C-alpha cells in the first residue's frame, strides 16, 4: 500500500525516497542521488566522532579519555621534537597516500602500498649491500631509481592479474603485502644480517654517505621535499594534462569513458605502476632517511594508514598534505601514550573509526529532510 | 598415524577457520553484499574469544560473545552498505582496519596469555579401524564438526529451500525479488549479520586451535585468503570445503617441510598460500574467461527501490 504511494510520487522527481517514505508523516527523508560530493565538513566531523567513539573504548579500559587525548596531542604537536617526528612520519604517508589517491581516482583499489613500500626498501638496501664502493653522488640516485622500480614492479604484479585475468586487485595487492614482508624477514635474518649486530635481525647500518641529507640538523630529511614535489606534480597532471583529464573521466563514468575511446586497461596499468613507484619511493626514503638500515617493522602500517589518508583527503592534493600530517601525528601520539600504560594501537583503532565515520558521513549527508507537499 | 593421515588432519585443522570464514563470505555475497571485512571480523572474533575465555573460563560463553560481537559489526556493515548505500569496498576495508586496530587495543591485556582450555574433541573411536581417514575422526573438535554440519546445512538452504531461493533472488536481481514481495533489505541485513557471525567463529576457531594465545594480527591475512576462497569456491558451500582444506594443506605443508629439515628457508615456505591464492585466481580467470563465473549478479550494487537509471 505505502509502497505504491512512494513509487508514484517519485516518478516525477529526480530525488529518491527510502523505503520508510510514504507513511503519512509531515516530513520524510529523501536520498539525493544526483549530488555526489559531500560537504567539506564531513571529514572534520568524522574525526571528531571517531575521537568520541574511541573515548568510550578508552574509558572502558579505565583511563580518562581526555588525559589520553591531551597526551597524544602534546606528544605529536606540542613540542618541537614531536612536531619533527610527526613530519617524519607524514613523509611516507604522503607518498603512499598520493599513490593510493592516483589509483582510487579510477577505482583501482590498491591496498598493497605496504608491500610496495617494503619492496622499495629492500631494493634500496640491496645497493648498499652489493655496491658499497661506489661514491654517494651515484649511489643515492641509484637507490632512488631501484626503490621506485621495485615498488612499481610490485604494483605491476597487482595490475597484470587484474587486467589479463580479471583477478580482484584487492586480494592480489594484499597477498603481495605478506609476500614482501616475508621476503624482508628472509633478508634481514638471512643473507643480509649484520655480522656485528649481536644476532639481531637487521642489515648493517648504512654508511653516512648513503643517508639522505637532513634539514637543519633535525631528523627531518629531504624526502619531505620529494613528497611535496610529487604532490605538486600530481596536482598539475590531474588538472592540466590530457592524462589527468582521462583519469577524471574514468573516475566519473567508466562506461562513458570507454565509449569515448579512452584505453582503460592501459590507464590501470600505468596507475598501478605510479602507485607502486610512489610507495617504493616511500620505502627508499624510510631506510635511507630514517632507519639507516633495513629491519623488521620499518613501516608501522604506513601502507594501510595511507589508505585512510587518501580517503580523508577525498583524493585532493592539498587535503593529502593536511591528512598526512594529521595521521603522522596520530602515529606519534600513539607512541607517546605508551608512557601512561596504554598500547600504541589506540591510534590504529582511531584510524579505523575515522574511516568508518567518513564512509557513513559521505552518504548520510546526502539524505535530506523534506516537508511533505500535498 | 602415517604421513598422509597426518597431512589430512593438519589440512583440516588449518582449513577449518578458512572454511568457516568462506561460508560466512558466501552467505553475505549470495545476498549481494561484498564482504571484504573478513580479516577484521576474524580478528574481532578471536580477541573476543580470548578475552571472555580468559576472564570467565567458560568456553561456551566465549564463543557466544564472539558471535555476538561480530554480529553487531555485521549489522554495522549492513547499515552502511544496505541502508546508507555506501561503497561496499571501502566499508569492508574500514571493517578490516577498525577490526585490526580495535582487536590489538583490546587484546593487549591478554596478549601472550595461554587460554584456560581447548575445544572439546568428539571421540568417535569406533571409526578408528577405517584405513587412512579413521584415525582423523577421533581427533576432530567441536567447531570442525560444526563446520561439516554447516556445509551440509548451507548447501541445502541455498539450493533446496524456498529461503535459499529468496536469498539467491535478492543477490541476483533484488528488483525482481522486491516485486515478488520478498523483503530485500531485511534479507540482506539478516545474511550479512549471519555471515559476519560465521567469520567471527572462524576467528574464534583460529585462536582455539591453530594459535593457542592471542597475538596482534594473528590471522595473518587468512581473512583475505577466505575472500579469495569465496571466489575460488564459486559461492558454493560444498566447493568451499574442498578449497579450504586445499589451502589448509598448503598452510601446514610449509610448517611440516620445515620440521623435516627442508633446505628452503621457512620464509619462502610461508609465502606459498599467498602466492598460490593469486595463481589460482589467475587460473580461474583464464579458464572462465567470457563465461559466467557464478558471481551473484547484483553483487556490490546497493538496491534502491524505484531506481531507474
Q: What pLDDT, in 10s, does the model give residues A239-283?
A: 999 999 999 899 888 889 989 889 989 999 999 999 999 999 999
A306: pLDDT strictly greater than 90: yes
pLDDT digits (tens, 9 = 90+) for A13-39: 444 445 444 455 677 777 776 666 677
Q: How close, in Å, is residue B104 to chain A by CA atoms?
A: 6
Q: Do A170 and B227 touch (CB under 8 A)?
A: yes
Measured between beta carbons, which residues in chain B are less than 8 angstroms from residue A3? Answer: 305
Contact at CB, A7 and B87, closer than 8 angstroms:
no
Q: Which of residues 282-341 of A touch B (CB under 8 A)?
A: 304, 307-308, 311
Nearest to A355 among B97, B185, B304 (CB): B97
Residue A268 pLDDT: 93
In the block, which residue shows the cell 557464478?
Answer: B294
Number of domains in chain A: 1
CB contact under 8 A, B94 and A355: yes
Q: Closest-CA residue in chain B for A351?
A: B98
List domains and CATH numbers for chain B: 3-121+139-287 (1.10.3470.10)
CB contact under 8 A, A190 and B101: no
Percent of chain A topping pLDDT 70:
90
Query: Which residues 138-167 on chain A approach chain B with CB closer than 8 angstroms?
Result: 161, 164-167
Contacts of B267 in chain A (CB under 8 A): 182-183, 185-186, 189-190
B281: which chain A residues are within 8 Å (Cβ-Cβ)?
A: 161, 165, 167-168, 171-172
Cell 511533505 maps to which residue? A372
pLDDT of A151 strictly over 70: yes
Q: Give the pLDDT score at A180.
A: 95
pLDDT on residue A21? 47
User: Which pLDDT belongs to residue B187?
Assistant: 92
Average pLDDT over residues A299-310: 90
* A291 belongs to a structural domain: yes
Phi first, then psi, for residue B114 (nearest 5°) are -70, 150
Instruction: Report how far residue A200's alpha carbon sits from residue B91's, in angstroms, rounded to the nearest whole number.
Output: 39
| A32 CB within 8 Å of a chain B CB | no
The alpha-carbon gap from B151 to the nearest alpha carbon of chain A, in Å, equals 24
User: Does A132 map to a domain?
Assistant: yes
Report the chain B residue with the minimal C-alpha distance to residue A191: B265
The contacts of residue B183 (CB under 8 Å, 6+ apart) are: none
* Nearest alpha carbon to residue A68 among A335, A331, A337: A337
Q: Is the model more confident about A229 or about A204?
A: A229
In chain A, which residues have their Cβ closer than 8 Å to the Cβ of B93? 109, 111, 307, 355
Task: Verify whether the Cβ–Cβ distance A186 to B93 is below 8 Å.
Answer: no
Asked if residue A8 has pLDDT above 60, the reply is no
pLDDT at residue A6 is higher than 50? no
Residues of A in contact with B90 (CB under 8 A): 311, 355, 359
**Does A359 reach chain B within 8 Å, measured CB to CB?**
yes
CB contact under 8 Å between B91 and A363, yes or no, is no
Tell me which residue in B105, B231, B267 faces A349 most closely, judged by beta carbons.
B105
Confidence of residue A204 (pLDDT cuts 50, 70, 90): confident
Is residue A360 within 8 angstroms of chain B, CB to CB?
A: yes
Contact assignment for B307 to A174 by CB distance below 8 Å:
no
Q: Is B282–A7 a contact, with Cβ atoms under 8 angstroms apart?
A: no
pLDDT bracket for residue A235 (50, 70, 90): very high
Residues A327-349: b if buried by 16+ CB within 10 A, e if exposed: bbbbbbbbbbbeeeebbbbbbbb
CB–CB of B278 and A176 under 8 A? yes
Is the per-residue pLDDT at A154 higher than 60?
yes
3 state DSSP class of B56: helix
Find chain A residues with C-beta within 8 A of B41's C-beta. Answer: none
Give the pLDDT score at B77: 93
pLDDT for position A373: 61
Arithmetic mean of pLDDT over chain A: 84
When scoring A343, A361, A364, A366 by the number of chain B Cβ atoms within 10 A, the one with the most, hence best to mutate, is A343
Does residue A63 carry a pLDDT above 70?
A: yes
Cα radius of gyration (chain B): 20
Residue A4's closest chain B neighbor by CA? Answer: B306
Cβ burial B271-283 (10 Å sphere, 16+ → b, else e)? bbbbebbbebbbe
Residue pairs between chains A and B whose CB atoms are closer than 8 Å: 151
What does the DSSP assignment read for A56-79? HHHHHTTS-HHHHHHHHHIIIIIS
A80 belongs to a structural domain: yes
Angstroms from A156 CA to nearest CA on chain B: 13
pTM of the model: 0.86
Residues of chain B with pLDDT under 50: 308-309
Residue A281 lies in a domain: yes
pLDDT digits 0-9 by tens, A69-100: 888 898 888 888 889 999 999 999 999 999 99
Helix (H, G, I), strand (E, B), or coil: what is residue A30? strand
Looking at the DSSP assignment, which residues form a beta bridge with residue A29? A369
CA distance A179 to chain B (A): 6
Tell me the average pLDDT across A99-107.
Answer: 92
**Record: contact B281-A307, CB cut-off 8 A:** no
Query: Is residue A298 a part of any domain in this protein?
Result: yes
Whether B66 and B119 have beta carbons less than 8 Å apart is answered as no
Interchain CB distance below 8 Å, B306 and A356: no
Provide the residue range defining the domain that includes A103.
64-341
Query: Is residue A204 in a domain?
Result: yes
Residue A111 contacts B where some CB pair is shorter than 8 Å: yes
Report if residue A367 sits inside a domain. Answer: no
As beta bridge partners, residue A368 has A30
Q: Does A190 touch chain B (CB under 8 A)?
A: yes
Picking from B220, B200, B219, B214, the residue whose alpha carbon sits closest to that of residue B55 is B214
Amino acid at each position: 500500500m505505502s509502497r505504491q504511494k512512494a513509487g508514484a510520487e517519485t516518478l516525477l522527481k529526480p530525488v529518491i525516497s527510502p523505503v520508510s517514505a510514504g507513511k503519512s508523516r509531515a516530513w520524510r527523508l529523501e536520498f539525493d542521488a544526483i549530488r555526489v560530493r559531500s560537504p567539506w565538513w564531513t571529514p572534520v566531523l568524522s574525526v571528531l566522532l571517531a575521537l568520541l567513539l574511541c573515548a568510550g573504548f578508552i574509558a572502558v579500559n579505565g583511563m580518562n579519555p581526555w588525559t589520553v587525548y591531551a597526551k597524544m596531542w602534546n606528544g605529536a604537536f606540542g613540542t618541537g621534537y614531536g612536531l619533527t617526528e610527526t613530519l617524519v612520519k607524514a613523509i611516507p604517508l604522503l607518498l603512499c597516500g598520493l599513490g593510493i589517491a592516483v589509483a582510487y581516482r579510477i577505482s583501482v583499489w590498491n591496498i598493497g602500498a605496504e608491500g610496495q613500500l617494503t619492496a622499495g626498501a629492500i631494493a634500496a638496501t640491496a645497493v648498499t649491500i652489493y655496491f658499497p664502493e661506489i661514491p654517494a653522488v651515484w649511489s643515492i640516485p641509484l637507490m632512488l631509481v631501484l626503490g621506485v622500480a621495485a615498488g612499481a614492479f610490485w604494483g605491476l604484479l597487482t595490475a597484470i592479474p587484474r587486467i589479463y585475468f580479471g583477478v580482484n586487485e584487492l586480494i592480489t595487492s594484499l597477498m603481495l603485502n605478506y609476500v614482501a614482508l616475508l621476503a624482508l624477514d628472509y633478508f634481514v635474518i638471512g643473507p643480509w644480517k649484520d655480522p656485528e649486530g649481536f644476532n639481531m635481525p637487521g642489515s648493517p647500518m648504512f654508511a653516512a654517505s648513503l643517508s639522505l641529507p637532513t634539514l637543519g640538523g633535525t631528523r627531518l630529511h629531504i624526502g619531505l621535499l620529494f613528497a611535496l614535489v610529487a604532490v605538486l606534480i600530481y596536482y598539475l597532471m590531474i588538472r592540466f594534462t590530457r592524462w589527468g583529464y582521462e583519469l577524471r573521466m574514468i573516475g566519473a563514468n567508466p562506461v562513458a569513458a570507454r565509449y569515448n575511446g579512452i584505453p582503460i586497461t592501459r590507464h590501470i596499468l600505468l596507475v598501478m605502476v605510479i602507485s607502486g613507484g610512489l610507495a617504493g619511493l616511500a620505502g627508499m626514503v624510510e631506510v635511507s632517511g630514517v632507519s639507516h638500515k633495513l629491519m623488521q617493522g620499518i613501516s608501522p602500517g604506513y601502507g594501510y594508514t595511507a589508505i585512510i589518508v587518501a580517503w580523508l583527503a577525498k583524493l585532493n592534493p592539498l587535503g593529502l598534505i593536511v591528512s598526512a600530517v594529521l595521521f603522522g601525528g596520530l602515529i606519534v601520539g600513539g607512541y607517546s601514550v605508551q608512557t601512561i600504560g596504554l598500547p600504541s594501537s589506540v591510534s590504529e583503532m582511531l584510524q579505523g573509526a575515522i574511516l568508518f565515520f567518513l564512509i557513513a558521513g559521505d552518504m548520510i549527508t546526502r539524505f535530506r529532510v523534506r516537508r511533505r507537499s500535498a | 598415524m602415517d604421513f598422509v593421515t597426518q597431512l589430512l588432519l593438519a589440512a583440516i585443522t588449518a582449513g577449518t577457520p578458512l572454511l568457516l570464514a568462506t561460508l560466512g563470505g558466501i552467505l553475505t555475497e549470495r545476498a549481494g553484499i561484498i564482504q571484504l571485512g573478513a580479516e577484521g571480523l576474524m580478528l574481532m572474533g578471536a580477541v573476543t574469544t580470548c578475552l571472555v575465555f580468559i576472564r570467565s573460563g567458560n568456553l561456551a560463553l566465549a564463543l557466544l560473545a564472539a558471535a555476538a560481537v561480530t554480529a553487531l559489526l555485521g549489522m554495522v556493515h549492513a547499515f552502511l552498505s544496505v541502508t546508507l548505500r555506501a561503497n561496499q569496498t571501502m566499508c569492508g576495508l574500514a571493517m578490516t582496519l577498525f577490526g585490526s586496530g580495535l582487536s590489538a587495543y583490546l587484546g593487549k591485556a591478554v596478549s601472550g596469555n595461554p587460554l584456560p582450555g581447548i575445544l572439546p574433541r568428539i571421540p568417535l573411536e569406533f571409526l578408528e579401524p577405517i584405513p587412512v581417514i579413521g584415525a582423523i575422526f577421533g581427533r576432530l573438535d567441536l567447531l570442525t564438526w560444526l563446520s561439516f554440519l554447516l556445509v551440509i546445512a548451507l548447501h541445502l538452504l541455498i539450493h533446496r529451500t524456498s529461503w535459499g531461493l529468496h536469498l539467491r533472488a535478492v543477490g541476483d536481481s533484488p528488483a525482481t525479488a522486491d516485486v515478488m514481495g520478498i523483503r530485500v533489505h531485511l534479507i540482506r541485513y539478516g545474511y550479512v549479520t549471519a555471515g559476519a557471525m560465521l567469520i567471527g567463529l572462524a576467528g574464534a576457531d583460529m585462536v582455539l586451535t591453530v594459535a593457542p594465545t592471542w597475538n596482534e594480527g594473528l590471522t595473518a591475512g587468512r581473512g583475505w585468503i577466505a575472500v579469495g576462497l569465496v571466489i575460488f569456491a564459486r559461492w558454493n558451500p560444498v566447493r568451499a570445503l574442498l578449497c579450504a582444506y586445499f589451502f589448509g594443506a598448503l598452510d601446514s605443508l610449509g610448517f611440516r617441510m620445515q620440521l623435516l629439515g627442508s633446505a628452503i628457508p621457512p620464509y619462502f615456505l610461508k609465502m606459498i598460500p599467498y602466492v598460490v591464492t593469486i595463481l589460482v585466481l589467475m587460473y580461474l580467470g583464464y579458464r572462465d574467461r567470457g563465461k559466467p563465473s557464478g558471481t551473484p549478479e547484483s553483487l556490490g550494487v546497493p538496491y534502491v527501490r524505484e531506481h531507474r537509471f
